[in-house]
Structure 1
C-alpha cells in the first residue's frame, strides 16, 4: 500500500510569473471597468464625462500631445541650497512619538484591499470643485504628522519649494510642481480615514515590504505581511513591469498625480515628480529596481532633482516669504498649466 504524502507543492517561478502578469491584467481591467461605470453615470445625468488620459503620460486628458519638457541637466549644482547639510534631514531615530505612531498605523493599514478600494473611491467620486490656489489655502490648516523636519504651514512649504526652484532658473512647469506637489493632502479634508492614508513615505503594496522602508519592522501588523500572494519579491507584479503598473500606498502623491494627469498640461517628468516624491525607498535607497522599466530609469533623475528642493527647502535658514506678494506670479503659472481653472478634486 502506497502512503500519501503531506508535502505541500510550491508554485514554480514560471507559475509565479504567470500569476503576476494575470494579476496585473486584472487590476488594469478593474480600472477600465470603473471608468466605464463613471461614463455611464455621467451619460445618465446628461453630464459630459471627464475623459481619462491614455496609458502613456505623453498625452493629456483630451488626447492631445503634451508640451515637451525642456532639456535639463538634472545633475547640475543647486545654487540656492548648496550650503544645506543633507544629514540634517529625515532623522527618524530622533523623531517625536507623533511621527513614530503615524508610521505604525500607516504600515498596519495600507493593504492591497484598502488600496484597491481607495482607487475605486477616487474614480467614482468628486470631492470638491475649486481652483488650485483655493486648494492651497484650504490645505494650510493641515499639520503633517509624518514629517520630522518642519512645522511650517503647507502653503509656506509649497512656496519655499517653488521659490527655490525659481531662483535656480528652472523651467516654469518645474516651479509649478514645487507649488502643488503636496496639494493632494486635501484628501485629509475629504474622505480620508486619518493621516495614514494621506501623508508619509510611500511604498508598493502587493509585494514584499523591504527593509529600506522607514520603520519596516512595523509591517508585521499588516495583514498582507504573511499572505503568500503578496510577501514574495515580485508578489502580484513581474520583473521590469514598470512602476505605472505598481500600486503605491494610497495617499497625497497618488491622488495628486491622477488629478494633475487628468487636468493639466504638465510634462511626464512633472507627473513623475508628483507621484514619486515620497517614494524614498526608490529614489533615495535604490530599492525596487527590479520593478522598473526603461521609462522609470529616465524619470528617476528628474524625481531626485526635485526631491532636493522639496527636502532642503525645509531648512530653518530659508527666508520667510510674503504670500500676498507672490500670489500673482503663481496664479499666472497655475493658469498656464491648468487651463480649466476650476478643478474636480
Structure 2
C-alpha cells in the first residue's frame, strides 16, 4: 500500500508515512495540503497534532541513502564520526492494553529505545520491558523514556505502576537506585527472584510507585518535540555540571565530562495555549530590544508560528543546525543557502525548552525567588520560554519573567533581568552562552568593519591629532572607564590593566612583557579623549557620574573590543558567531570573499589590514612615538583579539614563518589577562593595588622602552 496510517485513539494523533514505489510513473497527489516529494526522496515519519479540525502537517524529507553514498565515502570514517549528531523524537503507541513509548533517532533507521507497559485492572499498570540501544546508553535516554511512560499512564488514570528491576547480582542495587530516583520503592515482603542466565547471575526486585491525582509530572513530550543531548558551555569553555547532591558546578575544559551532559527537550507550543499567546508578546518585545532594533539583514521571526515553509528545525524560531552540521569548507547558512537544501529537514517550531541532567536525572528549574534548583519542589518551574534575538541567537526566559545566563562576576548559572544570548553549535552538541552586550558588540563590528571603514579610520587616527598625553595620565583616565568586556567585576579598566601587569610580574615574565600587560588596553583612550574634550568644551552636564566615562556613541564603538579579523579577504567560518558574517558589506564584493582576497600568498600578517580596534590603534601610537619595545610585544598587542588565527588556525595562506614564531607571545599575554580576570572574579580577592603604589616599579621600565614622557595620540 502506498499510504499507511496508524491512529492513536487516546491522544488523537495520526502518524503517516509514504513509501514511493520504484515503478511509479508519477508521485501521488498532495495529501492534506502537503505536496508529495519527488520520486528520489524518502518520506520520514510525519506527525499531525491536535484535533481533526485543526489540520496542519509537518513533513520530514531526506535524500535517499544511495544519493549520499559517494559523499559519505569521501568524508571517511573519522569525518563521519565527527559530524554525527543525535536528535531524538518520542512516539506513544497504544494497542489494546499495551502502551509503548518509542524513541527514534532522526539520523538512523529503527528505534533508539523503547518502553512497553501493560494496563491492568484496578487502575494499575506494569512495565514489561525497557531497553536502549547500546550505542546510546549512558545519556539519560532510559530515564527519559520512563518519565514519558509515567506521564502517559497518569493521563490514562493509572494510580500505581509496578516493575521488576532485573540487575546483575554481582553489582547489586545499581538499577534499584536508578528506579529509586524516579520514585519507585521495593515492594515490602515481595519475593526477590534469583536467576541463572548463561554465565550471568541475575536478581529480580519487585518495585512500585504511586501516581497521585494531580501529581506534577515531568514536561511531557509530543511527536513534534525534539530531544538533543548537549553540553551547556560558557564563553570560556567551562561546562555546566550537576553534582551527585544535585548542586550545580562548572567543569573546566579538559576535565571530567561524565556529569556535564544534559538532555535538551525542545517543546513545541500547541496552538491556542496560554504560553503561545504570552510568547507572542514577549517575542515582539525581545525583537525591539535586539541589537538596537536595526534592520541589518537578519530578520526577526515570529518564534511561536507553527507554520512556515522553511526547511529548518527551529528552537523558538531560531534555526537549529541540520544533521551533519556542515563541513569545514561550507558554513551552515541559517537563512537557507540553496547549496544546503539537501542537507536540511523540515521541523515544527519549538517555543519552550527544558534541561535534564543525564547523570542525576534532575531538571534545571527556576524558583519564584529568582534562584535555580535541581530539586523537585512544587514552586519550581522546569520549562523556559524561548525568545529569539536574531536568526541564530535566543534567550531563555523563566515563567517569572527573568532570563537564564551565567554571571561574569562569579561564573555561576543564574537568572537575571537582562537577557543572555544562547546558541546551538553547528554539530548540535553544545548549547553555548554569550553575554548579550558582547554579542551585540560582535554584531555591530561585523556590520561596520569593512575595507573602506578601516582605511578611513586609519587616515583619521594616524595623523595623531587627538592630543598629547602621558601613559600615567592615560591610565588615570582609564580608571574612570568601565569596559563592557568586564561586566560584574566591579573594577575599572585601569584597575584591570594593573591586575594584568601584576600577574605578569608575579609569574616572573621579563619587564617588557610586564609593560605590555600594563598598557595593552590603552588604545581605548582614542574613544575617551574626544568624549572628555566635548564635555569640557560644551560645559554640558554629563549623563553619567563625573568620575565615569561611558562610550555610547556609534563612532567609537570600535574601541570596545570584540573578535578581530583580516579585512580584504573572506571572514573565516571559525570566527565566533560566524553566522553574523553575512552582515558584512564586503560580502557583496566577490574579490574580497576568497581566502587570499586582495593579498598575495604568505605575505605575512604584518602586511595585511586588520579590523580597526583599540589594539591596532595603540600599536600605531607606539610606533609613531618611537618605542623600543620588541617586535614580540607589539605582536602580542596587535593580535590579541585575532584568536581565529592563533587558536583556530585561520589565515595559514597569509601567514609566513615569522608570524608562527610570534604565536607563543600572543598566547602568553592572553594567559596573563585571563589570570587577571580570574583573580578579580574570586569572592575573596585581595584589593587591587593603586596606580600610586605600583607606578615606581613600572616607571623605570617605561622610560627605557618608551622614552617620550608625553605621547602624541
Question: Equivalent of 2:467, from 119, 124, 128?
Answer: 128
* Partner SS state of residue 321, structure 1: coil
Give 1:320's match in structure 2, choosing from 674, 684, 687: 687
- Name the counterpart of 1:338: 706
1:224 is aligned to 586
Matching residue of 2:629: 266
The CA deviation at 1:179 is 0.1
Task: Please report how far the alpha carbon of residue 109 of structure 1 lies from its aligned counterpart in structure 2 after TM superposition.
Answer: 0.3
Contact 1:261 1:271 in 2 (8 A): no
- Scaled by the length of structure 1, the TM-score of the pair is 0.70
- Asked whether the equivalents of residues 475 and 522 of structure 2 are also in contact (C-alpha less than 8 Å), the reply is yes
Output one character per residue of 1:108-137: Cα deviation in whole Å (capped at 9) or x when no partner: 000000001111112224212011111111
Counterpart check, 1:303 vs 2:666: yes
Aligned positions of 1:199-238 closer than 5 A: 199-238=561-600
Most deviating of 104-113 and 214-223: 214-223
Aligned to 2:528: 189
Of the candidates 391, 414, 439, which is equivalent to residue 100 of structure 1? 439
Change (3 A) 1:86 1:140: farther
Distance 1:261 1:151, change over 3 A: farther
Give the superposed CA RMSD: 2.4
- Structure with the bigger percentage of helix: 1
CA contact (8 A) 2:483 2:560 kept: no
**Structure with the greater alpha carbon radius of gyration:** 2
Distance in 2 between residues matched to 1:105 and 1:168, nearest whole Å: 36
Deviation at 1:85, TM superposition (A): 5.0
The answer as to whether partners of 1:248 and 1:254 remain within 8 angstroms in 2 is yes
The answer to which structure, 1 or 2, has the higher relative contact order (CA under 8 A, 6+ apart) is: 1
Q: Which residue of 2 aligns with 1:164?
A: 503
- Give CA deviations for 1:80-102 in whole Å, capped at 9, x if unaligned: xxxx9568999984233211111
* Structure-1 separation of matches of 2:449 and 2:559: 7
TM-score where L is the length of structure 2: 0.35
Q: Deviations over 1:129-176 (max 9, x none)?
A: 011111111122333334568553111111111111111111111100
What secondary structure does 1:195 align onto?
helix
Distance 1:333 1:86, change over 3 A: farther
Partner of 2:189: none
Quick one: distance in 1 between partners of 2:515 and 2:252?
A: 25
Once the two structures are superposed, what CA deviation does each residue of 1:285-307 show, in whole Å capped at 9, x if it has no partner?
A: 22112211111011111111221
- Structure 1 unmatched runs, 5+: 1-83
Partner of 1:169, secondary structure, is: coil
Tell me the SS of whatever aligns to 1:211: coil
What residue number does 1:152 align with? 491
1:250 aligns to 2:612 (yes or no): yes
Distance of aligned partners of 1:344 and 1:295 in 2 relative to their CA distance in 1, 3 Å threshold: same
The answer to whether structure 1 residue 139 and structure 2 residue 478 are counterparts is yes
- Identify if the C-alpha distance between structure 1 residues 257 and 86 changes in structure 2 by more than 3 Å, giving closer, same or farther: farther
Residue 205 of structure 1 contacts residue 248 of structure 1 at CA under 8 Å; is this kept in 2?
A: yes
Greater displacement, 240-249 / 298-307: 298-307
Aligned residue number for residue 278 of structure 1: 641
Unpaired runs of 5+ residues, structure 2, are 1-250, 255-405, 412-420, 422-431, 531-553
| Aligned 8 A contact 1:239 1:291 in 2 | yes
Change (3 A) 1:292 1:147: farther
Counterpart Cα distance in 2 of 1:113 and 1:151: 37
